[in-house]
Amino acid sequence: MNGQRKTLNSAELRYNGHTIQFPVFEGSMGEKTMDIRALRKETGILTYDPGLINTGICTSDLTYVDGEKGVLLHRGYSIEDLAANCRFLEVAYLLIFGKLPNPVEQKSFSELMNLHSMIHEDMQHFFRNYPEKAHPMAVLSAMVVSLSSFYPELDRESATERIDNTVTRLLSKIRTIAAFSYKKSVGEPFVYPSYKLRYCANFLNMMFSSPVRDYTVDPVVERALNLFLVLHADHEQNCSTTVVRTVGSSGANLYASITAGICALWGPLHGGANQAVIEMLEEVLSQGMSVRDVIESAKRKESKIRLMGFGHRVYKTYDPRAKIAKEACKNLLEHLGHPDDPLLELAMALEEAALKDPYFQEKHLYPNVDYYTGIAYRAMGIPTNMFTLLFAMGRLPGWIAQWLENSRDGEQKLMRPRQVYTGEVANRVLPIGERA
């Protein structure tokens, strides 16, 4: 059990002539929750909740989202405060270790990060055997689970030092894996991490320097990348995080659990949306479609087209991360000398039209975190198929912190939901010759 919980009056359920009481409690921000753990035992009935829209699967001290007001807090700090004042690694430390690092902690965290930045030389063979067109998310997921065979697993009763090593190993190596998968896809030699560079600068250097081309990290680009990673650091029980907790609940190791999260993130309704947004914008430009055409086709159900980067399961107002990302994207493009980037202009025109349209207003559809980030990544020179990988790099501290929290929570159990069977009830096997 985590943090602060206040017990409230219980709720009553009347069913089949019986009245059953269920405890109600609230968390530290006042969300009221009915504890239905005794439901099936007491009544014999199940709840039916596709998409788990009404289901709290855990209590958590990590992240708070108010979807109506557009509020996002990590351990009580607002995303605006963290984005303005912290580097990505500080936010990662906050999520995983529960506090912002002081100078001593920050120094030792950075040193560990450097210590673990290389990947085992033998792992390089894996990259070499992937086809050039391999999607970086496929490579990333395979590489992260492979880490479990090269490095010791984190067991649940680990000593602090072992936890520090395992989580920093994962946080540090993900950059190297990401950059190597890019180098492989463009047929260039791998660039090793450097002790001289900080987290994001190191990643940019591994991506863009080469033996024949000097590369100097632009501090504005480095800052922007830090900010985008901060914006993705955690987002409570989203699809991939729930997957990480679910896989972890079976006792699977951290690497395996994170790998499952990476695969969940890949889908276009989740982290894959940042890639889908750019593909949508490029398609609109190349087809010469008008803003009106796009909005109208996104509204027509039969068209199966959605305005990618719009809408959110929890936010029914502007996603606070999208607000920050939009400003950062505009500033970055200005700095890089592309203030009139056609994709940015199109994205802003689509946003303006959508926000005025009754369809989007009634359904409370606003830009989400994925709407502007891809435009910024593209301006940094990052290829479209790596956008979701950057989301994964950003979300990693959240997945780690959620996995640790889940494994330390004495109320958690093996995740094993129920179903309502609706199939045939009494078939008999016929000899093969008599079957239809």
Judged by beta carbon, residue 307 or residue 343, the one nearer ligand CMC is: 307
Tokens of 418: 């129920």
11: DSSP letter: E
Judged by beta carbon, residue 199 or residue 310, the one nearer ligand CMC is: 310
Judged by beta carbon, residue 64 or residue 310, the one nearer ligand CMC is: 310
Minimal CB distance to ligand CMC: which residue? 311
Q: Which of 175, 174, 173, 229 is nearest to 202 (CA)?
A: 175
- 44 to each of 84, 219, 247, 417, how far by Cα in Å? 51, 61, 27, 15
Q: Which of 112, 95, 91 is nearest to 161 (CA)?
A: 112
Binding of ligand CMC by 363 (CB under 6 A):
yes
Tokens of 363: 């359904």
From residue 97 to residue 126, the character string flagging contacts with ligand CMC as x (rule: CB under 6 A) and all else as - is: ------------------------------
Binding of ligand CMC by 300 (CB under 6 A):
no
Q: Which of 313, 316, 330, 338 binds ligand CMC (CB under 6 A)?
A: 313
Judged by beta carbon, residue 88 or residue 310, the one nearer ligand CMC is: 310
Binding of ligand CMC by 271 (CB under 6 A):
yes
Taking contact as CB under 6 A, which single stretch among the options 26-34, 158-166, 247-255, 360-368 is the one that binds ligand CMC?
Answer: 360-368
Task: Specify the DSSP element, H or E, that contains 402.
Answer: helix 387-408
> Taking CB under 6 A as the criterion, which residues in 211-250 touch ligand CMC?
238
Taking contact as CB under 6 A, which single stretch among the options 58-66, 183-191, 368-376, 416-424 is the one that binds ligand CMC?
Answer: 368-376
Q: Which of 306, 316, 335, 338 binds ligand CMC (CB under 6 A)?
A: 306
Residue 12 main-chain phi, psi, to 5 deg: -110, 140
Least distance in Å: CB of 22 to ligand CMC?
Answer: 26
Taking contact as CB under 6 A, which single stretch among the options 103-111, 159-167, 188-196, 268-276 is the one that binds ligand CMC?
Answer: 268-276
Residue 45 main-chain phi, psi, to 5 deg: -110, 160
Binding of ligand CMC by 298 (CB under 6 A):
yes
Judged by beta carbon, residue 193 or residue 271, the one nearer ligand CMC is: 271
Least distance in Å: CB of 139 to ligand CMC?
Answer: 20
Residue 21 main-chain phi, psi, to 5 deg: -100, 140
Least distance in Å: CB of 305 to ligand CMC?
Answer: 8
Angle at 57 between CA 310 and CA 30, to 5 degrees: 80
Residue 174 main-chain phi, psi, to 5 deg: -60, -35
Least distance in Å: CB of 278 to ligand CMC?
Answer: 12
Q: What is the DSSP string of 299-319?
A: H-GGGT---TTB--SS-SS--
> Taking CB under 6 A as the criterion, which residues in 383-412 touch ligand CMC?
none
- 333 to each of 75, 329, 389, 406, how far by Cα in Å? 32, 6, 21, 40
Binding of ligand CMC by 309 (CB under 6 A):
yes
> Side-chain half-sphere of 287: how many Cα atoms within 13 Å?
11
Q: What is the DSSP string of 181-231?
A: HHHHHHT-------TTS-HHHHHHHHHH-BTTB-----HHHHHHHHHHHHH
Taking contact as CB under 6 A, which single stretch among the options 31-39, 119-127, 143-151, 263-271 is the one that binds ligand CMC?
Answer: 263-271
Least distance in Å: CB of 375 to ligand CMC?
Answer: 14
Catalytic residue, candidates 270, 312, 319, 357: 312
Location of structure tokens 């207003």: 361
Is 235 an annotated catalytic residue? Answer: no
Q: Which of 93, 228, 266, 310 binds ligand CMC (CB under 6 A)?
A: 310
Q: Which of 38, 269, 293, 303 binds ligand CMC (CB under 6 A)?
A: 269
> Taking CB under 6 A as the criterion, which residues in 369-388 touch ligand CMC?
369-370
Least distance in Å: CB of 383 to ligand CMC?
Answer: 20
Location of structure tokens 């989301």: 391
429: DSSP letter: P
Taking contact as CB under 6 A, which single stretch among the options 58-66, 70-78, 264-272, 326-334 is the one that binds ligand CMC?
Answer: 264-272
Tokens of 24: 């109600």
Q: Which of 159, 156, 164, 155 is nearest to 101 (CA)?
A: 164
Is 312 an annotated catalytic residue? Answer: yes
- Site residues (CB under 6 A) for ligand CMC? 238, 269-271, 273, 298, 306-313, 363, 365, 368-370
Active site residues: 312, 370
